[in-house]
Amino acid sequence: MKKTFLLLALSLFSIGLSAQTKDSPWWLAVDGVSNKFDFSYYDGLFDFSENTLGIRVAAERYLNSSFDLDLGVSYGALKHEDVFDGAVADLTTRIYYKFNNGYFLKEESRFAPYLFAGIGLTSYSKVEPFYEEYNDGVYATTPFGLGFRFLVSENFEINTKAAFNKSISYAPNYMQYGIGVSFALSRNKDKDGDGVPNKEDNCPDEAGPAENNGCPWPDTDGDGVIDKDDACPTVKGNSASGCPDADGDGVPDDKDECPQLAGSLNGCPDADGDGVKDSEDECPNTAGSLNGCPDRDGDGVKDSEDKCPSVAGGANGCPDSDGDGVLDNEDNCPNTAGSLNGCPSPAEKADEVLKLASGQIKFALSSDELNATAKAALDKVAALLKQTSLKLRIDGYADSTGPEEFNTWISKQRARAVKDYLQSKGVDANRLEVSPMGESNPLADNSTSNGRALNRRVEFKVLN
């Protein structure tokens, strides 16, 4: 008896699953049971010393993912010490709440616990009571409890349960432990074998996917591409998309830039495979990145027109580092811009020297004295004048600090100081003119000290 209890206990906590589904709604359950008498404060419910075995048979019906219903009968012994000795039979209907309902466990889970409750009738017979209140008879009862089911195969499961049968009228209560098996009695047929049960299949004689309710997908234009995948469902086509493809290149005509010519580039031919269709390729048989032509140095000049095809350059494909329009390979001064074979002309050199000097000749406030930086700049101007026949006008300037008369006078003194210095370096006075500009034409803002310092200056103008 103890071995029987151990088997029941282990089964109760280790196995289970409900296999009832809408595809297999009817099942037959057969359980071996052991009834335990509730004498006083549940003292007999766990007493396995008595042999009180029996059997329960039930028909089970699937309701939905959470609930099943059964109708069952049981018969077995019921005995407890010297209190009660007899037989008990019951007829009950029970409703089961399954935990493999998609909320707690997956519906397809192989293991699932459940709770149940019900109502029924219990008959006591062959009673040998030791107390007068226990007699033969039929009484109303309400069973409730828990259990587990385990799916062994598609049509077979093992289940175990414990039901406490509570008497509604004055009759004994008892616990019924059970372990058994269940068999599928029915299964929805699937005539066309498409996995959709006949009663849910809109086309039971034609196989079709469940997503289309068991019906095959239509092919309205009969081109072999079903409508749901056919980009042109009402126009017969010969491409994978179901649309016409006149040139047979795999690109539907409505997307083919060259519908009458087979090609791999948006439906157009590209003989050299450079990504430029032949009709726009200036070199259709030679792969290239520049309008379909090679351009090795990537300078935007195709190799066939590039005078320097291996070195990136300008308009004709050759480099011009100083940007003077003379190519480096023909430029006598490749890093200095000039118009004379790529080198600065005398006039250009003069302009450069004079501009540089003008920026370096500055004066202190109310002063015409030349500092060392100014003299160094004037030495270069003197050297330039000795090499050329240029005539210069020296414009002297002042800031706006003093009165206008003074500013005109000091600007003239500054221009004369420059002229005198150049004469001292051997420049003919006839090639030099002095022009006082006063505070006119300021280079910078006279309201700041830095701006005023920049305005105290001289500038050179070439007269010939």
pLDDT in tens, 144-203: 999 999 999 878 999 999 999 998 987 888 999 999 999 998 766 777 778 788 778 888
Summarised one tens digit per residue, pLDDT across range 390-405 is 899 999 999 999 999 9
DSSP structural state of residue 424: H
Contacts of 227 by beta carbon, 8 Å cutoff, 6+ apart:
217, 218, 219, 220, 233
Q: Looking at residue 6, what is its pLDDT?
A: 38
pLDDT value at 131 more than 70: no
- Beta pairing class for 26-38 and 156-167: unpaired
Contact 171, 139 (CB under 8 A): yes
* CA 147 – CA 60 distance, rounded (Å): 15
- Is residue 400 included in any domain, yes or no? yes
Q: Looking at residue 417, what is its pLDDT?
A: 96
Contacts of 10 by beta carbon, 8 Å cutoff, 6+ apart:
none
- Beta pairing class for 173-184 and 392-396: unpaired
At position 85, the amino acid (one-letter code) is D
Instruction: Please give the helix or strand (H or E) that residue 313 lies within, else none.
Output: none
Contacts of 410 by beta carbon, 8 Å cutoff, 6+ apart:
366, 367, 368, 396, 398, 402
Q: Where does a domain end: 159, 184, 209?
A: 184
- Is residue 304 included in any domain, yes or no? no
Helices 404-424 and 372-387 cross at an angle (nearest 10°) of: 60
- Is residue 174 included in any domain, yes or no? yes
What CATH number corresponds to the domain at position 89? 2.40.160.20
Q: Looking at residue 333, what is its pLDDT?
A: 75
Dump the DSSP string for 354-368.
HHHHHHH-B--TT--
pTM metric for this prediction? 0.43
Summarised one tens digit per residue, pLDDT across range 417-464 is 999 999 999 999 999 999 999 999 999 999 999 999 999 999 999 988
- Is residue 282 included in any domain, yes or no? no
Q: Where does a domain end: 184, 201, 216?
A: 184
At position 173, the amino acid (one-letter code) is N
Number of Cβ atoms within 10 Å of the Cβ of 196 = 24
Contact 38, 173 (CB under 8 A): yes
Q: Where does a domain end: 184, 209, 231?
A: 184
Mean pLDDT estimate for the chain? 83
Q: Per DSSP, which regions of 106-214 are E strands?
A: 111-125, 137-153, 156-167, 173-184
pLDDT value at 275 more than 50: yes
**397 lies in which domain range?**
346-462
Phi first, then psi, for residue 387 (nearest 5°) are -90, -10
Cα dihedral 192→193→199→203 (10° resolution): -40
pLDDT value at 359 more than 80: yes
Summarised one tens digit per residue, pLDDT across range 281-296 is 778 877 777 777 887 7
CA 104 to the chain's CA centroid: 31
pLDDT value at 18 more than 80: no
- Is residue 311 included in any domain, yes or no? no
CB-based burial, 332-355: b 16+ in 10 Å, e otherwise: ebbebbbeeebbbeeebbbeebbe
- Is residue 12 included in any domain, yes or no? yes
Q: Looking at residue 16, what is its pLDDT?
A: 35
What CATH number corresponds to the domain at position 455? 3.30.1330.60
Q: Looking at residue 1, what is its pLDDT?
A: 37
* CA 93 – CA 98 distance, rounded (Å): 16
Give the total number of structural domains in the chain.
Answer: 2
Q: Looking at residue 200, what is its pLDDT?
A: 80
pLDDT value at 77 more than 60: yes
Terminal alpha carbon distance of the chain: 135
Contact 229, 236 (CB under 8 A): no
Contact 188, 197 (CB under 8 A): yes
Using pLDDT thresholds of 50, 70 and 90, give the confidence band for residue 76: very high
- Beta pairing class for 432-436 and 173-184: unpaired
Q: Is 63 helix (H, G, I), strand (E, B) or coil?
A: coil
Q: What are the beta bridge partners of residue 57?
A: 30, 73
Helices 346-360 and 372-387 cross at an angle (nearest 10°) of: 160
Q: Looking at residue 336, what is its pLDDT?
A: 67
pLDDT value at 26 more than 80: yes
* CA 78 – CA 167 distance, rounded (Å): 15
- Is residue 332 included in any domain, yes or no? no
Q: Is 54 helix (H, G, I), strand (E, B) or coil?
A: strand
Contacts of 54 by beta carbon, 8 Å cutoff, 6+ apart:
32, 33, 34, 35, 74, 75, 76, 77, 88
Q: Looking at residue 310, what is its pLDDT?
A: 67
* CA 262 – CA 247 distance, rounded (Å): 5
Contact 299, 288 (CB under 8 A): no
Q: What are the beta bridge partners of residue 252?
A: none
Q: Looking at residue 351, what is its pLDDT?
A: 84
Tokens of 67: 């609930």
Dump the DSSP string for 324-378.
SSS-GGG-SSTTS--SBTTB--HHHHHHHHHHHHHHH-B--TT-----HHHHHHH
- Is residue 219 included in any domain, yes or no? no
Lowest mean pLDDT among 125-139, 201-215, 330-344, 348-362: 330-344
